[in-house]
């Protein structure tokens, strides 16, 4: 059996941290990578057999790439604090670690997403997946501020069972995250976006709403589906507004 390190990045995750840790107590090592939380995250985490390291937060990929080499074991599982490994997923992971295929360096895992305590079945979240189980010496995150994914020269496979993802407990929490992401995306987009026009400010947000609400059937998720679609359109507009502000600040 190959040994496993689970890495949990945190910042003010008192609401989630205990349940997240409990879901991965089967791991051989659990590392909490904390960005100097000001709530009870650290005190709650210390109830469990975990290693706690702290570093100022830049962006997600940077934080994870800093943490991965500090894992004691070759196989790593990244778990966000608002995620839970189910019993079925745990059993699947342990079975793989008994005899990992030599050509596989990482695994995609699908997520079952919840928004304000409702399971979101559509709205563009139905096929949400992330690479979370991987070999630490053969994988790292892209150096992107938003939506960075694992890069590897090896092969990737899929896990059968899903992560439970309790993504947002309120509209305010979701809006705050979208605003943070818009600021980071503005930096990523600066070098590859030309003149900002009405197309960026109106057409792209309108298309984003149509995509999530109609094409990806957000209407079937009721009011939460409408809210997600509307806020995705808002985020698309804010990305370019913040890019315009970024460029103005450089002059």
With a cut of 80, say whether residue 76 has pLDDT above it: yes
Q: What angle do CA 76, 131, 234 make, to 5 degrees?
A: 130
Q: Which two tokens stand for residue 203?
A: 């057409």
For 200-237, the pLDDT digits (tens) are 999 999 999 999 999 999 999 999 999 999 999 999 99
8 A C-beta contact, residue 133 and residue 79 = no
Residue 251 banded pLDDT, cuts 50, 70, 90: confident
What torsion, rounded to 10 degrees, do the Cα atoms 242, 248, 249, 251 define? 160
**pLDDT computed for residue 21 by the predictor:** 98
For 2-59, the pLDDT digits (tens) are 999 999 999 999 999 999 999 999 999 999 999 999 999 999 999 999 999 999 999 9
**pLDDT computed for residue 72 by the predictor:** 98
What's the CA gap between 152 and 103, in Å, rounded?
12
For 35-47, the pLDDT digits (tens) are 999 999 999 999 9
**pLDDT computed for residue 167 by the predictor:** 87
Superfamily holding 4-167: Spore Coat Polysaccharide Biosynthesis Protein SpsA; Chain A (3.90.550.10)
What's the CA gap between 188 and 10, in Å, rounded?
23
The whole-model pTM stands at 0.92
Please give the C-alpha separations between residue 156 and each of 4, 38, 175, in angstroms, as whole numbers: 18, 37, 33
For residue 86, give every residue at least 6 positions away whose Cβ sits within 8 Å of its Cβ, in sequence order, or none: 23, 161, 162, 163, 164
For 77-121, the pLDDT digits (tens) are 999 999 999 999 999 999 999 999 999 999 999 999 999 989 999
Q: Which long-range contacts does 197-206 make (Cβ < 8 Å, 24+ apart)?
A: 200/240, 201/237, 201/240, 201/241, 202/237, 204/236, 204/237, 204/240, 205/233, 205/234, 205/236, 205/237, 206/233
Give the chain's length: 251
With a cut of 80, say whether residue 189 has pLDDT above it: yes
**pLDDT computed for residue 117 by the predictor:** 87
For 147-158, the pLDDT digits (tens) are 899 999 999 999
**In the chain, where the domains are located:** 4-167, 170-250
Strand 75-78 vs strand 129-135: parallel, antiparallel, or unpaired? antiparallel
């Amino acid at each position: 059996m190959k040994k496993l390190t689970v890495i949990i990045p945190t910042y003010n995750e008192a609401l989630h941290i205990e349940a997240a840790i409990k879901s991965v107590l089967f791991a051989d090592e659990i590392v909490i990578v904390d960005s100097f939380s000001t709530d009870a995250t650290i005190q709650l985490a210390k109830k469990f057999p975990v290693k706690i390291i702290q570093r100022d937060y830049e962006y997600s990929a940077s934080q994870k790439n800093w943490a991965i080499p500090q894992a004691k074991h070759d196989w790593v599982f990244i778990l966000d604090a608002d995620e839970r490994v189910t019993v079925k997923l745990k059993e699947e992971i342990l079975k793989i670690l008994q005899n990992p295929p030599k050509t596989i360096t990482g695994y995609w895992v699908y997520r079952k997403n919840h928004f304000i305590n409702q399971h979101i079945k559509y709205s563009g979240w139905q096929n949400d997946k992330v690479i979370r189980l991987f070999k630490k010496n053969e994988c790292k995150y892209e150096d992107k501020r938003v939506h960075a994914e694992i890069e590897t020269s090896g092969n990737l496979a899929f896990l059968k069972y899903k992560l439970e993802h309790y993504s947002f407990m309120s509209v305010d929490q979701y809006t705050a995250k979208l605003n943070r992401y818009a600021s980071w995306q503005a930096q990523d987009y600066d070098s590859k976006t030309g003149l900002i026009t009405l197309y960026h400010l109106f057409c792209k947000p309108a298309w984003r709403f149509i995509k999530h609400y109609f094409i990806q059937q957000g209407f079937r998720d009721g009011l939460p589906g409408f809210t997600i679609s509307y806020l995705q359109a808002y985020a698309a507009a804010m990305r370019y507004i913040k890019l315009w502000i970024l460029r103005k600040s450089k002059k």
